[in-house]
Amino acid sequence: MKGKIKIAICGYGNLGRGVEKEIVRSEDMELVAVFSRRNMLEIASNVPVVNMKDIGKWTDKVDVVIMCGGSATDLPVQVPAVAKMFNTVDSFDTHAKIPEYYKAVNESAMSANKTSLISGGWDPGMFSVMRTYANAIMDQGTTYTFWGKGVSQGHSDAIRRVAGVKNGVQYTIPVEEAMERVRNGENPELTTADKHLRECFVVAEEGADKAAIENEIKTMPNYFSDYNTIVHFVSEEELKANHSKMSHGGFVIHSAETGNGNKQIIEYSLKLDSNPEFTASALIALARATYRMNKSGQYGAKTILDVPPALMSKKSSEELRKELL
């Protein structure tokens, strides 16, 4: 084997730590640095912690940077900047803003002959792949996406940014009867609120206006305003004891008819004990694909829909044909 693919992590939260933990399983890759805005960061592995302002010195020491910041404020600023110097992979997950995000990242990456894989977690990410395959094969059908039960980091972060909130966790919960109707091929019309509940456990700061907090959460655009949202106020102790797991999951179900009324049902599901560790594993496989795409001259912003599955695998095409095809 030639030299290993040299990976840097940018951002050291749950996702960054997940990448650090899981990358040791990929013997064709090695972690070489953690980029952070914080100076005195303690990390688990024995690689340098580099302040973000100095990352320009690392351009010839890193093949791909896995961007592990948040979608709300970190990635829209960081990725267009970093993509001018490095190949990048990220899990930007604000669906409505993907077109403008793509445009900004694409301009940066194209200007430097770099490759940036955007929105590569599981939704967007693997779920997008499933929607695309199902639609490509039977676009006369309808695709339904259900999330949960699980904690959404993005939605929990959103709760925690509300004034007066000390801490909070948000569960997305799929509605079982709605899923059964889809699996039966009933092809129902379902709003997002028909498909999900959003259940929030919130720790308020002392003296905060709980009614105002509840109202601000429930009316927050993109995150909560379209959903049936339940807000519970709990103590910090209760939140820690009962709501600290980062499990998640969901379902993509496509229902279509072919011929004369033959029902065809495709279903994909994830049941994840650790959302950040699964996302980290997906981003690592996509970093491998991104490195290969850049080597073959495919520059600019890409999504997982542009990636042949084989490019994400350690196995050669010959091994894949023999063992997994």
**Measured from the CB atom, is 139 or 236 closer to a second copy?**
139
| Residue choice 187, 222, 228, 274 for contact with a second copy (CB under 8 A) | 274
- C-alpha pair distances (Å), 50 with each of 43, 90, 117, 119: 11, 19, 22, 24
Binding flag, residue 44, a second copy (CB under 8 A): no
Binding flag, residue 281, a second copy (CB under 8 A): yes
**Measured from the CB atom, is 77 or 324 closer to a second copy?**
324
Quote the CA–CA distance of 46 and 60 in Å, as a whole number: 20
Task: Supply φ then ψ for residue 62, to 5 degrees.
Answer: -130, 135
Here's the x/- map for a second copy, 118-137, by CB under 8 A: it reads as -x----x-x-xxxxxx-xxx
**Measured from the CB atom, is 228 or 313 closer to a second copy?**
313
**Measured from the CB atom, is 124 or 168 closer to a second copy?**
124
Residue-wise DSSP of 17-63: HHHHHHGGG-TTEEEEEEEES-SS---SSSS-EEEGGGGGGGTTT-S
From 66-74, 166-174, 227-235, 317-325, span contacting a second copy (CB under 8 A): 317-325
Here's the x/- map for a second copy, 162-191, by CB under 8 A: it reads as ---------------------x--------
Q: How far is the CB of 194 from a second copy (least distance, A)?
A: 20
| Residue choice 277, 290, 291, 294 for contact with a second copy (CB under 8 A) | 277
Quote the CA–CA distance of 204 and 135 in Å, as a whole number: 44
| β-bridge partners, 34 | 9, 49
Binding flag, residue 324, a second copy (CB under 8 A): yes
Quote the CA–CA distance of 247 and 100 in Å, as a whole number: 30
Dihedral over alpha carbons 239, 282, 17, 15 (to 10 degrees):
-50
Q: How far is the CB of 217 from a second copy (least distance, A)?
A: 27
Residue 109, token pair as written in the block:
């990456």
Q: How far is the CB of 251 from a second copy (least distance, A)?
A: 9
Quote the CA–CA distance of 247 and 12 in Å, as a whole number: 19
Q: How far is the CB of 299 from a second copy (least distance, A)?
A: 15
Other C-beta atoms lying within 10 Å of the C-beta of residue 51? 12
**Measured from the CB atom, is 26 or 229 closer to a second copy?**
26
Closest CA to 218 of 234, 204, 205, 232: 232
Residue 2, token pair as written in the block:
């030639």
Q: How far is the CB of 58 from a second copy (least distance, A)?
A: 26
Exposure class string for 163-202: b at 16+ Cβ within 10 A, else e = eebebbbbbbbbbeebbebbeebeeeebeeeebbbbbbbb
| Residue choice 33, 117, 204, 285 for contact with a second copy (CB under 8 A) | 285
**Measured from the CB atom, is 192 or 235 closer to a second copy?**
192
Positions that interact with a second copy (CB under 8 A): 18, 21-22, 25, 95, 98-99, 102, 119, 124, 126, 128-133, 135-140, 143, 183, 258-259, 262-274, 277-278, 280-282, 284-285, 288, 303-310, 312-315, 317-318, 320-322, 324-325
